[in-house]
Amino acid sequence: MAEEVDKPPVVEPKAAEAVSLPVKKLSLKERLKATVTEYPKVAIITYLACSAIAVAGFSIAIGIGAEPSTATGVIGVIGAGWLAAKVTVPLRILATLALTPPIAALVTRHKKALPPEPPDDDDDDQP
C-alpha cells in the first residue's frame, strides 16, 4: 500500500482577492482636478501660497545678486522673480497635490478642537 503524505489544506482566495484588476494611474491633470474638487479652498490657498513663496524667494535671490538702486530696478527684480517662478509651475502643482490633504486634515482637526461659539442672543437688548 502507498503511504499517504500529509498535504497542507488548500485555501481558496476570497472573492476580493481572487480578481485583481489593473489600476489606471490618473494623469497629473486628473489628480489636480480631483484634489481641487475634494478640497477646493485648501487646494487654492496652498497653490497660491507656494506661488507667493516661489516669487518672493526668486526675487530675493535675484535682488541680492543684482542690488537694484531705483524703483524701476526693484520692479525689474520682482518681474524677473515672477518669470523664474513660472518655470517652477509643474513643481508647485506637485507640491500642491502632496501638501493639500495633510493641510486639510490639520484645518479640520483645528476646527474640531475649537470650542463651539455661543449663539447670539439679540433678544437681551429688549426690556
Average pLDDT of span 112-121: 73
Neighbours of 53 (CB within 10 A): 13
Q: What cell numbers appear for 54 in the block?
A: 516661489
State pLDDT tens for residues 60-104.
Answer: 888 888 777 788 888 888 889 999 999 999 999 899 989 999 999
Chain centroid to Cα 57, Å, comes to 20
pTM attached to this predicted model: 0.63
At position 121, the amino acid (one-letter code) is D
At residue 35, the pLDDT reads 85
